[in-house]
Each structure stands twice: as structure tokens, then as C-alpha cells.
Copies of this chain bind each other. A is one copy, B any other.
């Protein structure tokens, strides 16, 4: 007996609702913080029934997690061939990160999550897990590039990935302007050395 798994095709109406709820989730979170982030506010903002939200997203963390999954699709150069090899793959990921931290919808809710993580253990667990999962692709690309000899052997993939991701987050939160996307390659040079 064999099971053939059909590719899941999302009903377009479901996909539209998911995106509207996702956008509303990030917007309410950015504007009101986690303390003011309620299902009622998200339902009003997305113009959907509260019951729809309760049915599909059982917790506030589920709403946030699904919103980030739906609206922040990360490239996967660890799976694909990229012309230019390991360094180019790092650049693809750091460029994507600068785009996410320039996008106001995605990046404006990060300070609210960081602040809530100080007081709410479930937010801390989500945020730390989310950033580790997203950063794992960068860690893998760095590991493979060091193993293949394309990247310098003194690099520690974990620390190097945090230097790159941390710089992008720092520009967004601790300086007046996010790092422009066209400077992603310059940032990569700080950690990988000159091309």
C-alpha cells in the first residue's frame, strides 16, 4: 500500500484571509505592543470574524508565527546552486535580511517582540526559536563554505552568523536608518574578508 502525498494547494480565499490576518497581526503588534495585541484588534484590522481567527490560530503566538512565515519568505541558497559559490550564498541571505529589516511591516514588530520577550516566557521562547531557525540557513552556508575551503577557516559559523544578522538588526534599532540593501556585500566583507 502506498500513500501518494498530493502537493497542498491553498484555496485562494484561504490564502487571502491568511495574508490579511498576517498583515493585521504585524501591524497591531507594531502599533500597540504585545500588551495591546488582542484577537479583537487583529480581527477588526483584517476585517474578518473573530471566530475565524480563533478557529485557525489558537494562540497569539500562533498568529505571530504564521504571519512571519507567510510574509517573510527566506531564500534557501543552502539547497540551491548559486553562481559565485559560498560567498554569493552568504550575500543572498544577508541581502534578504536587509530587505526584511527595511520593510516597515516586518521590521516594526521586532522591537515589540524583543520587549515582550523580557516579560513573557512564551514570547521569549518563540522569538529565540524563530531567530535560531531563520539564522540556521546562514550557519549552514557558512559551515559548508568553510568545509569546502571557500571561506576562511578561522570563522566560527555561529558567531559569524550573529555578527552579520546582529549588524542588520542593530542598524534598524540603534541607528536612525536601516542598512541599505546595496551595502549588504560590504557588511559581508567585514566578516568574510575581501572577495
Point out residues on A near B: beta carbons under 8 Å.
30, 33, 108, 111-112, 114-115, 117-118, 124, 127-128, 131-132, 152, 154-156, 159-160, 162-171, 173-176, 183, 186-187, 189-191, 193-194
Contact = CB atoms under 8 A, between A and B. Distances in A.
Nearest to A32: B119
24 contacts: A33-B115, A111-B115, A112-B118, A124-B176, A127-B174, A131-B174, A131-B175, A155-B190, A156-B189, A159-B183, A159-B187, A162-B170, A162-B171, A163-B163, A163-B164, A163-B167, A163-B187, A163-B191, A166-B167, A166-B168, A166-B169, A166-B174, A169-B174, A193-B193
A118 B165 CA distance: 20
Contact of A114 (B132, B167, B173): B173
B169 A170 contact: yes
Contacts of A114: 111, 114-115, 173-174
A181 B127 CA distance: 23
Contact of A159 (B33, B165, B186): B186
Nearest to A118: B111
Contacts of A162: 167, 170-171, 175
